[in-house]
Amino acid sequence: MNEVNKENTTLRTYIVSFIAAVVGVLLIVWGENLASGHTVIKPILNNIGSIVLATALLATIWELFVKRSFVCEIIDMMRSDYSVIESGIEMITLDFSEIIWGNYLKNNKSLDIYFAYGRTWRNHNATYLNDMSKVNGAAVRVILPDVSDELLISSMASRFGYSVERLKGEIEDAVKDFREIFQQNGENVSLKIYLCKKNPVYSMYIFDNKAIFSMYKHSRGRGGVPTFVLNNQGKLFNFLRCEFDSLIADEDITREI
């Protein structure tokens, strides 16, 4: 609605409210001035006049003070809901264990993973990963930190509170586990493992139609971290997909092993 139409609507509201108020007052005055013998009509006129006058006053108050605030609140709510829908967020949790990974790994033919090493995740989902290794045509791509980059591994080890040797061992175990799981059935699954010189700031798991990413903590110690479940219709899914593909395509920082 343009400004002219808004002004016309507001003006009409004021005119109608004014006329209604005048009618209400006239009905009340008429009722009060009736002869005492009109015992039935007098209260009826007074009541009708009071209702009309009150309605006119409420309409004016609504137009002057309430309507704009109400409309703005509704618009803000709609914008917020639209932003969530547009982002593709289906779930947010601070408890990583709340994610039912089987729902995303079952009947899934593509899996892209980027994390530090994911020992707990691999152990927890070993059954589902083994099932996926038997799916003909499945494709798995895994990006892990490059153990040959001493500066990267030293920085990550410090952040996790690990020794450099322990972190290297965790990453090497991850490589070994993925190969054992997905190469046990011959040519069923395409497995590609990459080592990247970027310091991961979150973990990502991209499936056929969903994606999950989990943030890392800056503080030491255990505790919940925000984890997001996304559908493939939103902007965040597309962002993760572009991030993953860009990392693999950048040969200066990523190499396949």
Structure tokens belonging to residue 214: 């989990």
Is residue 14 located within the same domain as residue 124?
Answer: no
pLDDT at 86: 83
Instruction: Mean pLDDT check: name the lowest of 67-71, 164-168, 244-248.
Output: 67-71
Q: What is the band of 1 on the pLDDT scale with cuts at 50, 70, 90?
A: very low
Final residue of a domain: which of 86, 116, 133?
A: 86
Final residue of a domain: which of 65, 86, 107?
A: 86
- Terminal Cα distance for the chain, rounded: 61
pLDDT tens per residue, range 178-237: 999 998 766 778 999 999 999 999 999 999 999 999 988 776 666 678 999 999 999 999
pLDDT at 15: 79
What is the Cα 47 distance to its own chain's centre? 53
Is residue 79 located within the same domain as residue 116?
Answer: no
pLDDT at 60: 76
Is residue 24 located within the same domain as residue 96?
Answer: no
In whole angstroms, what is the distance from residue 229 CA to residue 90 CA? 6
Is residue 208 located within the same domain as residue 147?
Answer: yes
In whole angstroms, what is the distance from residue 168 CA to residue 104 CA? 29
Average pLDDT of the residues in 3-8: 52
Is residue 28 located within the same domain as residue 99?
Answer: no
Q: What is the band of 71 on the pLDDT scale with cuts at 50, 70, 90?
A: low
Residue type, 86: E
Mind giving me the DSSP string for 150-188? HHHHHHHHHHHT--HHHHHHHHHHHHHHHHHHHSTTTTS
Which structural domain range is residue 80 located in? 3-86
Is residue 106 located within the same domain as residue 224?
Answer: yes
Q: How many domains are contained in the chain?
A: 2
Is residue 24 located within the same domain as residue 72?
Answer: yes
The answer to whether residue 52 scores a pLDDT higher than 60 is: yes
Nearby residues of 200 by Cβ (< 8 Å), 6 or more positions away:
114, 115, 116, 145, 156, 216
pLDDT at 9: 61
Final residue of a domain: which of 58, 86, 114?
A: 86
Is residue 131 located within the same domain as residue 209?
Answer: yes
- The H or E element containing residue 248 is helix 235-249
Q: Which residues of 116-131 are buried (b: 16+ CB within 10 A; e: fewer)?
A: bbbeebbebbeebbeb
Average pLDDT of the residues in 114-127: 94
pLDDT at 27: 80
Pairing of strands 189-196, 202-206: unpaired
In whole angstroms, what is the distance from residue 257 CA to residue 249 CA? 14
pLDDT at 238: 94
R_g (Cα) of the chain, nearest Å:
33
The answer to whether residue 117 scores a pLDDT higher than 80 is: yes
The answer to whether residue 2 scores a pLDDT higher than 50 is: no
Is residue 181 located within the same domain as residue 118?
Answer: yes
Is residue 60 located within the same domain as residue 103?
Answer: no
Contact (Cβ atoms closer than 8 angstroms) between residue 239 and residue 106: no
Is residue 68 located within the same domain as residue 146?
Answer: no
Is residue 188 located within the same domain as residue 223?
Answer: yes
Torsion of CA 245, 249, 252, 257, to 10 degrees: 90
pLDDT tens per residue, range 124-151: 999 999 999 888 889 999 999 999 999 9
In whole angstroms, what is the distance from residue 139 CA to residue 135 CA? 9
| CATH number of the domain residue 216 falls in | 3.30.870.10
